[in-house]
Amino acid sequence: MNTSPRTALITGATAGFGRAAARRFIAAGWQVIATGRRAERLDALRAELGDALHPARFDIRDEAAMRAALDALPERFRGIDLLVNNAGLAQGTQPAQDALLSDWKTMIDTNITGLVTLTHAVLPTLIARKGALINISSTAATYPYTGGNAYGGTKAFLSQFSLNLRADLHGTGVRVTAIEPGMAETEFTVVRTHGDQAASDRLYAGANPMTAEDIAEAIFWVATLPPHLNVNRLELMPTSQSFAGFQVHRGG
C-alpha cells in the first residue's frame, strides 16, 4: 500500500460494520466510496460526512449496475487504495433440511458471486496502487453451528479466497486480510430472520455483543498498519461468546 492511502471502497455502507467503517475512515482523513442498495441511507451518510463520501448505489448481485457505478466514479475517487468487501448477509436460521433454497441462492449470489465480481474489477487498481483488500468473513467460516449451513459455506469460501489471493498477489505489494467476527449487534439478525426485530433483540439481550464500531476499528487498524505488515486473518469475538462441544445423538 502507498504510505498514505486515501480512498477506500466500502461495500454495504448503509448499515452496521460498513457504515461505521465509512465514518471511521473519513474521520481519519480518507475518502470513501460507500455502496449499498438503500439510496436514502446513502444520502443520509453523504449529508452527515460531506464530500469525502461518494455514494454508489447498486445491488452487488447486479453486475451491470456495479460496473456502471465504477465507470461513473468521479476522477478523485478512481484511485482506490483499499477495498473493504463487507456487503453480505445471512438468510434463515433453520437446519439445512428445512431451509429455503432461495435463501441459499441469495447468500451465494451476494456473499460470493457479487463479491468476487467486484474484487475482479478492482484488483488492477489495487495492484497499481499497492493497495489493500479486506474481506469481512465470519467465525462461521471456521466453526459450524446448526442453521449455519450455506452462510458458513459462503464465509469459508471468503476466508479461503483471501488466503489464495495472498498467494496470487505475491510480490505485488497488495495486502489481503480476512476479518472473521463473531457476534456483533447490527441489522444482521433482523435481515437473517426476514425482519424479526424481537428475535434480534432476544439474541443480543444481556450478551454484551460486539458493536459495529468495534469491527470498524479493527478494519481501520488492519488498513493502516505499515505496508510491510499483512494480517492474514483476524478472528474477533465478544468476551461473552466462546465454544460449545460436539453434539452427540443417541438412540439410533
- Pick 129 or 209: Cβ nearer ligand NDP: 209
Q: Which residue number, 105 or 130, has a Cβ lying nearer to ligand NDP? A: 105
> What are the Cα distances from residue 110, in Å, to 2, 60, 181, 233?
30, 6, 18, 21
Q: Which residue is nearest to ligand NDP (CB)?
A: 16
Confirm if 19 and 212 have CB atoms less than 8 A apart.
yes
> 143, 145, 151, 204: which one is catalytic?
151
Total chain residues near ligand NDP (CB under 6 A): 28
Minimum CB separation from ligand 8X3 for residue 246, in Å?
17
Active site residue 151: yes
What is the rounded distance in angstroms from the CA atom of residue 101 to the CA atom of residue 115?
20
137-156 mask for ligand 8X3 (x: CB under 6 A)? -xxx-------x--------
Closest CB 114 distance from ligand 8X3, rounded Å: 17
Nearer to ligand NDP, 41 or 233 (CB): 41
In terms of Cα–Cα distance, which of 151, 155, 153, 149 is closest to 135? 155
Is 61 an interacting residue with respect to ligand NDP (CB under 6 A)?
yes
Give the containing element (helix H, strand E) for 9: strand 7-10
Tell whether residue 88 is a contact of ligand NDP (CB under 6 A): yes
Number of other CB atoms surrounding residue 86 within 10 Å = 26
Look up residue 87 and give its three cell numbers.
Answer: 456487503
Among the listed residues 7, 9, 18, 45, the single contact to ligand NDP using CB under 6 A: 18
- Report DSSP state, residue 225: S
Q: Is 12 in the site for ligand NDP (CB under 6 A)?
A: yes
Grid coordinates representing 133 are 483488500
- Binding-site partner at residue 112 among ligand NDP, ligand 8X3, none, CB < 5 to 8 Å by type: none
Q: What's the helix, strand, coil split of the chain in %, to 5? A: 45, 15, 40
Q: Choose one: 8-16, 44-52, 75-83, 95-103; the region binding ligand NDP (CB under 6 A).
A: 8-16
Residues in contact with 64: Cβ distance below 8 Å, sequence separation at least 6, in sequence order: none
Q: φ, ψ for residue 22 (rounded to 5)?
A: -60, -45
Residue 11, SS3 per DSSP:
coil
Provide, rounded to whole angstroms, the least separation between the CB of residue 44 and ligand 8X3: 25
Give the whole-angstrom CA distance, residue 247 versus residue 187: 29
Q: Which residues are catalytic?
A: 151
The binding site for ligand NDP (CB under 6 A) comprises 12-18, 36-38, 41, 59-61, 86-89, 110, 136, 138, 181, 183-184, 186-188, 191
The binding site for ligand 8X3 (CB under 6 A) comprises 138-140, 148, 182-183
